[in-house]
Structure 1
Amino acid sequence: MTENATTVNTGKDYSPSWQRRFEMLDYLEADKLSYDAMRKTDKYKALSFGEKFRVSRNFLALFFGSIYYFCKGMWAKGLFIIAVSSIYSMLLMTIEAAAGRLFIPSIAYWLPPGIFTFLLANYDYYRKEKLGEKIWSVIPAVFGEIKVILPIAVIAFAANIYFAYQITMMLPDPYLGY
């Protein structure tokens, strides 16, 4: 068990699809390996395309991101994703504002965080249920505490909204010309 983990969830009934995913992740030793290390093993490479897809892809997480994490009880990771996504969004808005009339498509704002959750959601849920992991091991354990990550996520999200409003008021309207 890592320092970012609490107690293991035992005695919980999972759907047959989650049971299959958990069995495959057990086989791939996901409780001992990082996501990248697991994907580099010969066991993972020997899986069929469908098995790889089932174990390491999640469309609900792609479209719902942090909300999916919240629904699965991964609060700290969901809030961390909100905070990082908000900072990423402010960075893109800064680039747009600095370049003047440069327009970055909205897909550039939501797709990278969506792909991140798309790839990691099943692995993260497995580690939460098997090890009680709150936050990724590469992130300091203090961010796994709700009392720490919640204010950070709220501030980052509020700053993102404020920043977006300020940028919107500053840029000329491309349709009206002023």
Structure 2
Amino acid sequence: MLQAPGGRDGLAESWRRRFEILDRIDGAYFTRWRELSEAERMRAGLAWPAFFFSFLYYFAKGMWEKGLLFMTVYAALGMALGAVGVPGVLVWFWVGALCVACAASDYYKRVEHGERIWPWLARRMPGFLRSTPGLGVVAVVALGCHVAIAVQT
């Protein structure tokens, strides 16, 4: 369930604890990350289900735009690296690792600040890609191309 910015009422207890840790270190920017113990870093910084489900985890958490971007990255890398013989499972592993590293802070920024897409990327994107439908079209086309190529090989 997606919350309005600043709303933690519907969050699971594990996410509330994680958000409390992120609040202590200025979770939007991680300015005081080194103040945490190793256990707190692991608890606050990594969302392990994101490793196994990658962009699907983002969809489940209501982070559609970022999930669509990860889906596009997965499809593009799958096509490019598949063309040179890299197995698709390695691409899925890499995208999963990227998602597990980003998911907790991305969810925090979504719930606390209403962030839909990374600001550094939004400034560089064409206008039609700043909307969920625009990103969806690009992601579906990329994934369709990836599947079509995979089926032919």
TM-score using structure 2 length:
0.87
Question: Are residue 20 (structure 1) and residue 17 (structure 2) matched?
Answer: yes
- Give the aligned partner of residue 60 of structure 2: 71
Relative distance call for 1:163 and 1:119 in structure 2 (3 A) is: same
Output one character per residue of 1:27-57: Cα deviation in whole Å (capped at 9) or x when no partner: 11123x2xxxx2xx4x321211110000111
Q: Which position in structure 2 is the counterpart of 1:145?
A: 131
Q: Whose radius of gyration is greater, 1 or 2?
A: 1
Q: Aligned runs of 1:93-108 on 2, under 5 Å?
A: 93-96=82-85, 104-108=86-90
Number of aligned residue pairs: 146
Q: Per chain length, whose mean CA-contact separation is higher, i.e. which structure has more relative contact order (CA < 8 Å, sep 6+)?
A: 1
Q: Does 1:84 align with 2:79?
A: no
Alignment of 1:149-160 (within 5 A): 149-160=135-146
Contact between 1:77 and 1:144, CA under 8 Å: does it hold in 2? no
Unaligned runs of 5+ in 1: 1-6, 97-103, 169-178
Q: Equivalent residue for 1:116?
A: 98
Residue deviations 1:1-29 (CA, integer Å, cap 9, x gap): xxxxxx62536332221111111111111
Mapped to 1, the partners of 2:36 and 2:8 lie a distance apart of 29
Note the aligned Cα RMSD (angstroms): 1.7
